[in-house]
A and B are shown apart, each in its own frame.
Chain A
Amino acid sequence: MMRNQLSGYGVNMLPIEKPHLELLRQWRNSDFVREQMVSGEIIDEQQQLNWFQNISERQDQQHFIIQYRADYIGAANLKSCDGKPVTEAITLEPGIYIGDERYRSNILAFAPSLVLLDYCFDYLKVNQVTAKVKSQNSAALSYNGKLGYAEVDKDREYTIIALERERYIQSTGTLKNLLSRQRK
């Protein structure tokens, strides 16, 4: 299925294609990314290919590689929470990681989330987005808090957070302005 790229705040989000797979696999297998994942297993080339073939046929998920300037810096996805196609879902679950360590501790790390959330709220018109974050991952919880996410449930292992449009708009105005200025 043909999907369009998303752009904004200095980054492009390109639909994942076969040539991206090896870089994605390297990121996915890094300690930093595996620690954030529900499954931390090492992925081999065949598993990666199987995953790509699976997501290519699915309507309830969209997967992107994040580009900044000439570099790929991370990956993002959107998953439907109700089994419907992403374009018809009422609630979506976005996921993002920055694979390029140069940009992990950088305000640029917010740009792909802003692109994805604008897409969710302004284009797809979802009511709410939600995420499941490891309760120990204080950096991710703090990051999502800056975007306006609020905790809705928590146990020792995972914290469920959710975000609605109005709260997102209120929380991100200044950040959006800084990342939308004139570029060289």
Chain B
Amino acid sequence: MNNQEKLFQAFASALNIELNQVSPELTYNTIAEWDSTAHMILIAEIEGVFDVMLDTDDIIDMSSVAKAQEILTRYEVQF
């Protein structure tokens, strides 16, 4: 599994949605499943999968799948 697949799987798992619902355009609060509680679970999931510790600004900025990928790149995760 490459890192993009891992990221999509992390979203599907944390938000409890089907993998085919995850796309780069998926955005916070645009589906019922991605609310603030799910966002906290998502952060924990992403940190576990990629072995990173996100800072608060990145947690705030992580408002879409595409943005998550962009942020993780700064933590030396390669896509």
Interface residues of A (CB under 8 A from B): 9-10, 105-108, 110, 142-143, 146, 174-175, 178-184
How many angstroms between the C-alpha atoms of A143 and B29 in the bound complex? 11
Other-chain residue from A105, A142, A143, A175 in contact with B28 (beta carbon distance below 8 A):
A105
Determine the chain A residues whose CB is within 8 A of the CB of B55 once the complex forms. Answer: 181-184
Determine the chain A residues whose CB is within 8 A of the CB of B60 once the complex forms. Answer: 10, 106-108, 179
Other-chain residue from B27, B28, B53 in contact with A107 (beta carbon distance below 8 A):
B28
CB distance from A149 to the nearest CB of B (A): 14
For A68, the closest partner residue in chain B by CB is B60
The 5 closest A-B pairs by CB, nearest first: A105-B29, A181-B56, A108-B60, A182-B55, A174-B40
A-B contact list, 13 entries, CB within 8 Å: A9-B56, A10-B60, A105-B28, A105-B63, A106-B28, A107-B39, A107-B59, A107-B60, A110-B36, A178-B43, A179-B56, A182-B55, A184-B57
CB distance from A167 to the nearest CB of B (A): 16
How many angstroms between the C-alpha atoms of A44 and B66 in the bound complex? 41
Determine the chain A residues whose CB is within 8 A of the CB of B40 once the complex forms. Answer: 174-175, 178
Other-chain residue from A10, A146, A180 in contact with B57 (beta carbon distance below 8 A):
A10
CB distance from B36 to the nearest CB of A (A): 5
CB distance from B7 to the nearest CB of A (A): 18
Pairwise interchain contact B54-A181, C-beta atoms closer than 8 A: yes
Determine the chain A residues whose CB is within 8 A of the CB of B54 once the complex forms. Answer: 181
Contact pattern, B 23-38, Cβ under 8 Å of A = 1, otherwise 0:
0000111100001110
Given contacts A105-B63, A107-B28, is CB(A175)–CB(B56) below 8 Å?
no
For A143, the closest partner residue in chain B by CB is B36
Given contacts A107-B39, A146-B36, is CB(A181)–CB(B59) below 8 Å?
yes
- Extra A-B contacts (7), CB below 8 Å, given A108-B60, A179-B56, A181-B55: A106-B29, A178-B40, A178-B43, A178-B56, A181-B59, A182-B56, A183-B56
Determine the chain B residues whose CB is within 8 A of the CB of A184 once the complex forms. Answer: 55, 57
